[in-house]
Amino acid sequence: LNENYARSIAYYNDTILNNTILEKQLVGDFDQALKEKQFCMYLQPQMTSEGKMLGAEALVRWQHPKRGLIFPGDFIEVFEKTGLIYRLDRFIWELAVQKLARWQQEGHSDLYISVNISTKDFYYMNVYETITALVEKYRIIPSTLKLEITETAIMTGTAGELDMIEQFREYGFQVEIDDFGSGYSSFNTLKDMDVDVLKIDMGFLRTSKPENLEKSMSILNMIISLSKTLGLSVVTEGVETKEQVVKLTQMGCRIYQGYYFSKPIPVEEFEKRYM
Ligand code: C2E
Ligand code: CA
Ligand code: CA
Ligand code: CA
């Protein structure tokens, strides 16, 4: 064996092994983490181009006693694989609904929170019953809770899931397609599904080659004008510069979420800064 090759195999095995160990540990830590409320909700504002805050997306963070702050990229997939995700999502949804209830008592009834729904949640629980039960428990205005579902979840779903999305809308929730344009069936999704919001995938703003940026911008332009025709609102996610906001505003986008305005931040900080 070539020495470099052997070394790279060893490295590869090492990485997989370390990942597996880490994953096992995170899964093992889950019950206690949920019980001790180590998971917390961060909020990232959604803004108009003029900087008015309209609402926020709820994004989970794990305040791990030994490892410090852990980001969803390190645990969501593992929890999806192991069937734990629905318990985490239910917990985060409840935090979001509690926060909305508080805001509404304080007179901020116009603000919304978007929560993420994993494809896997549909396998492990009745998502509709879970969410409507929370809304009834805390008596919030349903239209202030937005439900983010990826197009993969919609297109790989059964007829039952498509029905559920109809039911969500009839109940008064707003349904958003997350990461729009990243999958293989974006336009089929639009044809088959009635939704309220398209959240454009960040990938269009990050091209690997600079010469592709112009193409990417044409696609964005097309998606934005198409959503106007279909009566959908558009959120552009991942905006990091003023130039992006200016360009997209010229194309007709009104709502933005991205580091240009703010990273996801703890709720207390969000309230201090924006309310
Ligand atoms: P997502 O739903 O597409 O959320 C957007 C992600 O992009 C967030 O990463 C956010 O911090 C990041 N982001 C926002 N603006 C910018 C920007 O301007 N530049 C860059 N580079 N990134 C930006 P985060 O919080 O690490 O979450 C990653 C993914 O994990 C989410 O992607 C979502 O798929 C999943 N996730 C997060 N929280 C939850 C949750 O409570 N439940 C479920 N099921 N999934 C979640
Ligand atoms: Ca999302
Ligand atoms: Ca997204
Ligand atoms: Ca995503």
DSSP collapsed to 3 states, 96-152: HHHHHHHHHHCCCCCCEEEEECCCCHHHHCCHHHHHHHHHHHHCCCHHHEEEEEEHH
**pLDDT (0 to 100) of residue 33:** 98
Q: Could you tell me the distance, in angstroms and rounded to a whole number, from the CA of residue 9 to the centre of ligand 1?
A: 32
CA distance 221 to 251: 6
Is residue 73 in contact with ligand 1, taking CB distance under 6 Å?
yes
Per-residue confidence (pLDDT) for residue 14, from 0 to 100:
67
Across 166-171, average pLDDT: 95
What is the rounded average pLDDT of the residues 161-182?
A: 92
Whether the CB of 259 sits within 6 Å of ligand 1: yes
Q: Which ligand is nearest to the CA of 72?
A: 1
Q: Nearest 5°: phi and psi at 219?
A: -65, -45
Residue 32 has pLDDT above 60, yes or no: yes
For residue 240 and ligand 1, the question of a CB distance below 6 A is answered with yes
Rg (CA), the chain: 20
123 touches ligand 1 (CB under 6 Å): no
H/E stretch holding 255 reads: strand 255-257
Q: What is the pLDDT of residue 9?
A: 67
How far is the centre of ligand 2, averaged over its atoms, from the C-alpha of 78 (Å)? 17
Query: In this predicted structure, what is the pLDDT of residue 131?
Result: 98
Element (H, E) at 168: helix 159-171
Q: What percent of the chain has pLDDT over 90?
A: 76
Q: Is the ipTM of this complex over 0.95?
A: yes
Confidence band (pLDDT; 50, 70, 90) for 59?
Answer: very high
From the CA of 24, how far away is ligand 4's center (Å)?
Answer: 23
**pLDDT of the residue at 198:** 95
> Which tops the pLDDT comparison, 12 or 125?
125
- Whether the Cβ atoms of residue 238 and residue 262 lie closer than 8 Å to each other: no
Ligand 1 near 181 CB (within 6 A): no
Closest CA to 115 of 64, 43, 36: 43
If you measure from the C-alpha of residue 5 to the centroid of ligand 2, how many angstroms do you get, rounded to a whole number?
40
Give the Cα separation of 100 and 113 in Å (integer).
7
CB 216, CB 173: distance < 8 Å:
no
Hey, which residues does 26 pair with through a beta bridge? none
Percent of the chain topping pLDDT 70: 93
Q: What is the DSSP letter of 182?
A: S
Which of 94, 97, 116 to mutate to test ligand 1, by most ligand atoms within 8 A of the CB atom? 116
Over residues 73-85, the pLDDT tens digits come to 999 999 999 999 9
**pLDDT, position 192:** 79
Ligand nearest to the CA of 238: 1
Q: How many Å lie between the centroid of ligand 1 and the Cα of residue 59?
A: 6
Q: How confident is the model at residue 117 (pLDDT cuts 50, 70, 90)?
A: very high
pLDDT of 12 over the 70 cut: no
Place of tokens 């940026």: 213
Highest averaged pLDDT of the listed ranges 18-27, 51-60, 198-207: 51-60
Helix axes 127-138, 159-171, angle to 10 degrees: 20
Average pLDDT over residues 33-37: 98
How many other C-beta atoms are found inside a 10 Å radius of the C-beta of residue 197? 21
pLDDT band at 13 (very low <50, low <70, confident <90, very high): low
